[in-house]
Amino acid sequence: MKELGLLLLGLLAGAFSGLIGIGGGIIMVPALVYVFGFSQHAAQGTTLAVLLPPVSLLACYVYYRSGNLDIWVAAIITIGFFVGNLFGAKAAVALNPQLLSKLFAVVLIAMGVKMLVGK
pLDDT by residue (tens digit) across 65-98?
Answer: 999 999 999 999 889 888 998 999 999 999 999 9
- Other Cβ atoms less than 10 A from the Cβ of 29: the count is 22
Note whether 69 and 60 are within 8 A (CB): yes
Q: What is the pTM of this model?
A: 0.79
Note whether 14 and 28 are within 8 A (CB): no
Largest CA distance in the chain: 44
The pLDDT assigned to 41 comes to 93
How do residues 29-71 score in pLDDT, each as one tens digit?
A: 999 999 999 999 999 999 888 887 777 888 889 999 999 999 9
Least Cα distance to 46 among 35, 56, 32, 30 occurs for: 32
